[in-house]
């Protein structure tokens, strides 16, 4: 019986079928039909549905928007669940949409911020508290990018943790000022602590230095600041 099912074939029929004889495994199940299978094969059905969607895209999207507006909570729950189950596809979809709608996205973002300034600032504050290391990385990249653009410096991506581990968690400034030694606490994020971790450019970006792993090193904040002041003097 199993051998018969494996070797049995069926003609792909229906108004959208290709008419070819194909294995039963190429047909989806349909309990409404006598043989329990759809009249056309999976490939033909997929082609038909894709074409139908393209021909009715505006109507489908309008219907979807209306349903979302009438069922906001359920729509958000469905979207959140899908994003959690498909993180890579969600990321790819967002990037593709933004690339195709960059101007509209920026305008929409600016308008939302203008209408929800207090809420946006609160979200930003909470994110900074929950992600101190990423916030520090973002600030460093933003500041360095501006200086790099002004100086026309070369840039290569790197992470603060990567440089910290490469330098064994030690301040690499020649004249380290820390009375407790060269060791640095990577997880110290107090802005008023002079011995917290910072990235030091051996050749400053303002002096035509590059923002690359070969030109940066781990340092204490005070050691970095003192060195820069000494060079500027």
Instruction: For residues 61 and 180, give the distance between their C-alpha atoms in angstroms, rounded to a whole number.
Output: 64
> In the chain, where are the structural domains located?
11-54, 133-232
Describe the crossing of helices 132-151 and 117-130 by its angle, rounded to 10 degrees.
100
Instruction: For residues 215 and 39, give the distance between their C-alpha atoms in angstroms, rounded to a whole number.
Output: 66
Contact between 26 and 7 under an 8 Å Cβ cutoff? The reply is no
pLDDT digits (tens, 9 = 90+) for 57-104: 999 989 998 998 899 899 889 988 998 899 898 888 888 888 888 888
Query: Does the model's pTM come out above 0.85?
Result: no
Look at residues 148, 183, 191 and name the one whose alpha carbon lies nearest to residue 164.
183
What is the mean pLDDT of the segment spanning 109-113?
A: 82
- Give yes or no for residue 167 having a pLDDT over 90: yes
Instruction: For residues 170 and 35, give the distance between their C-alpha atoms in angstroms, rounded to a whole number.
Output: 73
């Amino acid at each position: 019986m199993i051998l018969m099912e494996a070797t049995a074939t069926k003609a792909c029929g229906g108004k959208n079928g290709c008419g070819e004889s194909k294995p039963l495994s190429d047909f989806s199940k349909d309990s409404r039909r006598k043989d329990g299978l759809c009249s056309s094969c999976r490939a033909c059905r997929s082609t038909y549905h894709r074409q139908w969607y393209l021909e009715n895209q505006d109507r489908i999207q309008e219907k979807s928007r209306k349903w979302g507006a009438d069922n906001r909570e359920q729509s958000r729950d469905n979207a959140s669940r899908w994003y959690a189950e498909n993180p890579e596809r969600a990321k790819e979809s967002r990037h593709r949409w933004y690339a195709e709608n960059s101007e509209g996205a920026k305008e929409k973002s600016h308008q939302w911020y203008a209408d929800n300034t207090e809420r946006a600032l609160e979200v930003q504050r909470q994110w900074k508290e929950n992600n101190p290391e990423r916030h520090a990385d973002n600030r460093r990249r933003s500041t360095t990018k501006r200086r790099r653009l002004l100086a026309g410096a070369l840039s290569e991506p790197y992470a603060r943790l990567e440089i910290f581990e490469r330098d064994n968690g030690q301040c690499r400034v020649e004249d380290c000022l820390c009375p407790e030694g060269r060791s640095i606490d990577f997880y110290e994020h107090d802005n008023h602590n002079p011995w917290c971790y910072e990235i030091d450019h051996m050749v400053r970006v303002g002096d035509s230095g590059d923002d690359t792993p070969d030109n940066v090193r781990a340092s204490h904040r005070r050691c970095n600041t003192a060195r820069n002041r000494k060079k500027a003097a």
